[in-house]
Structures are given as structure tokens and as C-alpha cells.
Chains A and B, each alone.
Chain A
């Protein structure tokens, strides 16, 4: 029992309410947001320490014990996700504030133009934290909706034509996934009489294996839309690149990973950690096939793109494939590698999109064919791109290498050679794609001149845009993200041990169930919630 558990959700929500009141005073909004997200980071770290000592930290909302009330549960995986997400939210917030002034096309950054940015960004933070911390399926739906509603608004801030066009795809597909989620919840409640995750875990074995298979597939589909799994990924490369720069960075880093988290949580907790969720036939095989296709589609799609953000968006999909690959193995090494890899990807992807925003800021175009020679004109941006790019491709000694090594090692350990082969080929293609971007953006000359509106010299460049390539706060925030991903590989050993402990918890649902239900055995309460 800990009163810390709801704080990562409550603090940003309260700050969001206050932020609306200060809509006219941008500086007050900034201080509020930074303070709230900073406090979230501190609380998340405290929760991680507590969860790592005690195993599982829980809080019953309103004092109603599970399964009657809503339970908030933070185990090691949740705590790790909370720390990473709150830290990234803070870094991207700094970047967005740094973007503030007037940009090349006379178009100020999203943060300084819209008073709604800060409150909605904080609601997004609360929704993400809620998804990680909840122990109740319906509450997970509510947290998802909170996060998604905030993301709809953030994606379309400004309301320009392409944004509306792309945002429409995003909103509609998210709503279809939400409808599927409610349908799955209704069916789960009808067949088990509960929506509490721990309680569900105890009652799932009572269902016939066919029904369990159906639920497992339904939940994979539901969360697969949000995680952009093959073949449900098509909305992502359309919609993410059109959002304002910092918004794309946080979406790329976090939102799909919330979907992956939900898949990992539900598949392992509700459908057994042994991969026999389909009652005999392995759900792992389904996940592995999906993972292989997701990896291939992601990297091949990225190779075809000319738009920098769009190529990186396809790489998001490829990376999701790696995580599902680890999950599909259903071994301790596989799950530990997934936990390690999710964090790694959040850091790297946020990083790459922050750099893409800097390139946009510096040149006024995000098209690979219109940009060139940045290694000379903006060496800092080049370095900031090189570190996460190598990491994405998985070259040693980057954090991506550590993550991919763990995954491949787990794959070989589970004798799934074909998926290991796909993972390695996709790594090679990722390296090729990164080389293509590097050669196009940082070396050589622009093949096509940037559009005339963007090639006008920036009016404020003398004071704010130096050789670093952007306002200092933007560059600084990107630098923090790069430093975090370097620190991640320096401390890869201890972090991997933590990931292994988290994986051991995940593979043994009894730990989670006993912590939530405590001494109440499942037979001691009647059906019907």
C-alpha cells in the first residue's frame, strides 16, 4: 500500500487544470508544466525503488479493496515504464519550450502559439502514467482514452489542411480500436464477472480454451492497432509526421509503446506466461509471425521514403516488431530483452525525432533530397543524429546493440532460428536506411533546392541559431536525450538485471495476483462484481 502510486497521474492532471487558469501567462504555464513533470519523474523514481524492493506496490482507490474497487498497481515493469515516460515527457517539454521563438517560415513553435499546448500535454502525461499504473481493465480503457483524446488535439493543434487530413486517419482508427476494446471488455465481463486484472487472471483458467483464444486474439488486435503491429500499422506513417515537431517526438517515443506495454501485460497476466494461452497451440507462434512481418514492413517502408520524419516513422514500426518478437518467445530471457528494448527504443526514437525537428528548424525542410551538408554547417546536429542512428541499427557499442543482442540471444536460446534470421536481416537494412539518411542529410549537397518559402534567411537567426543549429534550449534538450541513451548503455548491466527481475515477475502472475487480492481467495466473493 502506497500513497505514491496515484501521484504520477494526479500531479499532471491538477497542473493541467491550473494551467488552463493561467492561459494568458505563458511563463506561468511553463513553470507549472516543468514543475509537474519534474515531480512526476521524482515520484516515479521513488516508486521504482519501492517496487524493486517490495515486488509490487498497490493502492486501492477510495479504500475499496480489489476486486470491488479500482486498484492501481505498480510492479517493476510499470515502474520502469513510468520513470522512462515521465523523463521523456520532461525532455520533450523543454524542447518544445525552446522552439518558442519565430522560426524560418515565420511560423512560431507549437508551444508558444497555442495556450492549449501545456494543459493538453499534461493530460497526455497523466493518461500515459494511468495506462502504466492501473490494475483494472476498464480503468486501462479510460487511461487510454485520456491519452488518445489529448493526442488527437496535440496532433491537430493549428488545424492546417495536411494535419486535419492525417489526423482524421489517426482519430478514426483509434476510435475503432477503442470500440473493439469496449467490446472485448463487455465480453470479458460477461464471461468472468470482473474487470480487475488480477481477478481476471484467477478466473481465466475456468474458461474453455477456445474462449481464451478468442480473448487473447481480440486483445492483441485491440492493442495491436495502438502499437502499430502488422497489418494494423498503416495509420502511423501517415499521421505522425504531420504533427508539430515536439508532438511527433513524444508520440513516436511513447504512444506505440503504451500499446506494446498493454499487450505484454495482458498476454502474460491473463493468458499464462508459458505461451500456451491458446489452450495447447502456442500464441507465441502467432506473435512471432506478426513480429517478423512488422519488422520487415517497417524497414522496407522506411527505405522507400524521402521525407525524414516519415522514414523514421516507418522505423518505429520496425522496432515494435522487435519487441513483439521478444514477447512471442515467452521465455525469461525473451521477456527481459523486451523490457530492456522498450526503454531503449523510447530513448532512441524520441531522440531521432528531436533531431529531425532540429534539421527542420535549421534548413526549413524535412525532405532528404532537399537537405545536404549538415555535417559541416551544423556538426552538433550531426553528432546528435549519429548516436541514436547507430543505436537504431544496433551497432556496438550503442544501447541498440545491447538490446538486439539480448533479443537475438533469447531467440537462439528458444531455438526460433527463422525469426532470429529476420531480425538480423532487418538490422542490416536498418543500417542501410540510416546510411541513406546520413548520406542525404549530413553529407553531400541538396539534390533539389528547398522550397522558396523556406530558403529565405531566418529573421532571428543571428542571435539564436549559431553553429549548434538551433535555439540553445532545443539543442540542450536533444543533448539530454542523447546523454540518456549513452548512459543507458553504460549502465546496461544493472538495467538488464532489473529487466530480468521484472520479467521474472511477469512470467509468474501469482506474484501480481497475490499482491492485489491479498488474502482474499477468488472463491470468497460472489460473481457479478
Chain B
């Protein structure tokens, strides 16, 4: 494996991972694409040094490039391409639904989290009052079974998701 290709693969993996950790869906998708390219380069270089096309009569056995990793990389590229198309369609649908590129918080996690906060409040009302008075930004934890639309005030899309299909 040449140093240049190794460094390229490493950079693609690194940048891809960084993009993957972002909150914007488009960046996540670009990150996944870069990681896919990184794996393909890794796959190509796994066949060792390059050489002649492996056709009988063109040269000796040792002159040929290893065709198998190229076939594998081709398969991997096709699969990545198909999945990437699906991802883009999904991202477009997500934008249609939420009109936002940000990945929203998970609703059930919020509900479970809110109910835990409620339990501790019930157990220790005074402490909760103190906390509420000291922290004006705390939301009212009185209704753990709020309608989903109310729990995700920062996520305007979840309430009007039924678009015409």
C-alpha cells in the first residue's frame, strides 16, 4: 500500500467521521459518502501493488494486478451508490416533513426523562420548588403525558406529518 493512498484513506475516514458527528443531516450524508470512499480505497489497496491487466498471454503471473479487490470494490461502490440514493431521498422527505435539516431529539427519550424528573419532584417538592425558582428556564414538569406535539415545541414538523402521499 503506497503511503499516499494510506494517507488519503485515513483523511477520508477522519473527515467523514467528523461530519458524521454533526447535527445536520446533509453533513451526515456527506460524511457517510466520504467514509464509503475511504473504505473503497482501502479495499483497492488491499490487493497489493498494481500491475498488468490479468489477461492470459499479456505477461507472467507475477506481473498481474490482483483483480479480486477491484471486483470487491466495484460491488461495494454499487451498494454504496444505491444506499446513498436512498439516504438522499430520505433526507428530502425529512425536509418535507420538518422543514429543517437538523436531526430532532427522540420523543420517547424526552417523555421518559420528563417522567423521571416528575418522580423526583413528587418525592421532594420543596427541592423542586427551589430548583424551579432558581432556574427560570426549567419547563413545567407537571404533565408527563403531554401530547407529543407539545413536548417538542422546537420540532414543528412532528405535528403535521400527514402529508399527501
Chain A interfacial positions (CB closer than 8 Å to B): 138, 141-142, 145, 149, 152-153, 156, 158-162, 164-168, 171-172, 175-176, 178-179, 182-183, 185-187, 189-190, 195, 237-238, 241, 304-307, 310, 369, 448, 451, 526, 528-529
B43 & A185 in contact (Cβ 8 Å cutoff): yes
Q: Is the CB of A179 within 8 A of B39?
A: yes
Q: Are B35 and A179 in contact (CB under 8 A)?
A: yes
Look across to chain B and name the residue whose beta carbon is closest to the beta carbon of A163: B161
Residue pair B32, A189 in contact (C-beta under 8 Å):
no
A186 touches B108 (CB 8 A): no
Q: Are A305 and B32 in contact (CB under 8 A)?
A: no
Q: How many Å lie between the Cα of A177 and that of B66 in the bound state?
A: 26
B15 within 8 A of A: no
Bound: A176/B35 CA distance, A: 8
When the two chains form their complex, are residues B94 and A165 in contact, meaning their CB atoms are under 8 A apart?
yes
B26 CB-CB contact with A under 8 Å: no
A162 near B107 with CB under 8 A, answer yes
B53 to chain A, nearest CB (A): 15
Q: Secondary structure of the A side of the interface?
A: helix
Which residue of chain B has the shortest Cβ distance to A237 in the bound complex? B108
B1 at the interface (CB under 8 A from A): yes
Nearest CB in chain A: distance from B161 CB, A: 3
Chain B residues in the interface with A (C-beta under 8 A): 1, 20, 25, 28, 32, 35-36, 38-40, 42-43, 45-48, 61, 66, 68-69, 72, 75-76, 79, 82-83, 86-87, 90, 93-94, 97-98, 103-104, 106-109, 111-112, 115-116, 145, 147, 157-158, 161-162, 165
A156-B90, A190-B1 known; A448+B161 contact, CB < 8 A: no
Inter-chain CA distance A175–B147, complex, in Å, is: 33
Query: Of A153, A172, A238, A305, which is in contact with the most chain B CB atoms at under 10 Å from its CB?
Result: A172
In the complex formed, the residue of B with least CB distance to A107 is B162
Q: With A152-B86, A159-B93, A171-B90 in contact, do A145 and B79 touch (Cβ < 8 Å)?
A: yes
User: B46 to A186, Cβ gap below 8 A?
Assistant: yes
Chain B at the A interface: SS class: helix
Query: B39 contacts A186, CB within 8 Å?
Result: yes
Q: Is the CB of A183 within 8 A of B32?
A: no
In the complex, the answer to whether B108 meets A307 with C-beta atoms within 8 Å is yes
Q: What are the nearest 8 A-B pairs in CB distance?
A: A161-B161, A190-B46, A182-B39, A186-B46, A186-B42, A186-B43, A529-B68, A161-B97
Docked Cα-Cα span, A179 to B13, in Å, equals 10
B35 & A165 in contact (Cβ 8 Å cutoff): no
Whether A162 touches B72, Cβ cut-off 8 Å, given contacts A182-B42, A369-B145, is no
Beta-carbon contact of A172 and B20 below 8 Å = yes
Contact of A305 among B43, B47, B108, B147 (CB under 8 A): B108
B72 touches A448 (CB 8 A): no
A164 touches B39 (CB 8 A): no
Complex CA gap A74/B43 in Å reads 28
The smallest C-beta distance from A182 to any residue of chain B, in angstroms, reads 4
B111: A residues at CB distance < 8 A: 306
Is B28's CB under 8 angstroms from A172's CB? yes
Q: Are B46 and A189 in contact (CB under 8 A)?
A: yes
User: Once the chains are docked, how many angstroms separate the CA of A152 from the CA of B40?
Assistant: 23
> Are B104 and A187 interface neighbours, CB within 8 A?
no
A168, B103: Cβ atoms under 8 Å?
yes
Q: Contact partner of A182 among B43, B112, B116, CB < 8 A?
A: B43
A452 to B21, CA, bound (A): 39
| A241–B43 alpha-carbon span in the complex (Å) | 36
A160-B161 in contact given A168-B90, A175-B83, A369-B145 (Cβ < 8 Å): yes
- Chain A residues near B145 (CB-CB < 8 A): 369, 448
B159 nearest in chain A by CB position: A161
- Please indicate the chain B residues that have their CB under 8 angstroms from the CB of A186 in the complex: 39, 42-43, 45-46, 69
Q: A162: which of B45, B48, B109, B161 is its contact (CB, 8 Å)?
A: B161
Q: Would A164 and B43 count as touching, CB distance under 8 A?
A: no
26 contacts between A and B (CB under 8 A): A138-B75, A141-B76, A142-B75, A145-B83, A156-B90, A159-B97, A160-B161, A161-B158, A165-B103, A171-B86, A171-B90, A179-B39, A182-B39, A182-B40, A186-B45, A187-B46, A189-B69, A190-B45, A237-B108, A238-B106, A238-B108, A241-B108, A448-B145, A451-B147, A526-B61, A528-B47
CA distance A142 to B75 in the complex (A): 8
In-complex Cβ contact of A310 among B69, B94, B108, B116 (8 A): B108
Question: Taking the nearest CB of chain A, how far is it from the CB of B86, in angstroms?
Answer: 6
- Chain A residue at smallest Cβ distance from B91: A168
